């Protein structure tokens, strides 16, 4: 069984409480630990024009970038879902931009379930800058 890092779990759980999700009622929190050991958090922020909403992972990445960091060592995502919540497709690509293929992504539920995956597990065949080598 996966036992989440308590600091990351606390950080993501706290961020989730501030999620703005009046349309889906599905609050999500995310916490990133960078290679320097700092933690950055995000929550989903919805919008009445639905596609303009942003995911928790995107918020945590934005906070990391604002702080001048670019290297994700580990990321944890939490929601009140029946099974450990996985990042959406777009967030998988966003995470892969700043994390190595072996970086841990911990998927959690608010009732204590957790599952560890790697970035490579979540996004096999990732599109990378190497694919633009002839451009
Ligand atoms: N959501 C996230 O924040 N992260 C994910 O990876 C999955 C989905 C949010 C987006 C939207 O606000 C709500 O969950 C329902 O899709």
Which are the catalytic amino acids?
57
- Ligand 1 pocket list (CB less than 6 A): 21, 24, 26, 28, 44, 46, 53, 55-57, 87-88, 91
pTM of the model: 0.96
CA 121 to ligand 1 centroid distance, Å: 19
pLDDT in tens, 29-85: 999 999 999 999 999 999 999 999 999 999 999 999 999 999 999 999 999 999 999
Residue spans of the domains in the chain: they are: 6-132
Which residue's CA is the nearest one to ligand 1's atom 6?
87
CA 44 to ligand 1 centroid distance, Å: 6
Question: What span, in angstroms and rounded, lies between the C-alpha atoms of 95 and 103?
Answer: 10
Domain 6-132 has CATH 3.40.50.1100: no
CA nearest to 105, candidates 63, 65, 77: 77
């Amino acid at each position: 069984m996966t036992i989440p890092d308590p600091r990351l779990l606390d950080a993501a759980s706290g961020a989730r409480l501030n999620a703005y999700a009046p349309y889906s009622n599905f609050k999500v929190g995310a916490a990133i630990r960078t290679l320097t050991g700092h933690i950055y958090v995000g929550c989903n922020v919805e919008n009445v024009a639905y596609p303009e909403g942003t995911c928790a992972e995107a918020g945590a990445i934005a906070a990391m970038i604002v702080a001048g960091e670019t290297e994700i060592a580990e990321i944890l995502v939490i929601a009140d879902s029946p099974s450990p919540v996985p990042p959406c497709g777009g967030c998988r690509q966003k995470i892969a931009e700043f994390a190595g293929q072996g970086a841990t992504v911990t998927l959690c539920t608010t009732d204590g379930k957790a599952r560890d995956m790697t970035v490579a597990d979540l996004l096999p065949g990732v599109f990378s800058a190497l694919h633009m080598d002839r451009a």
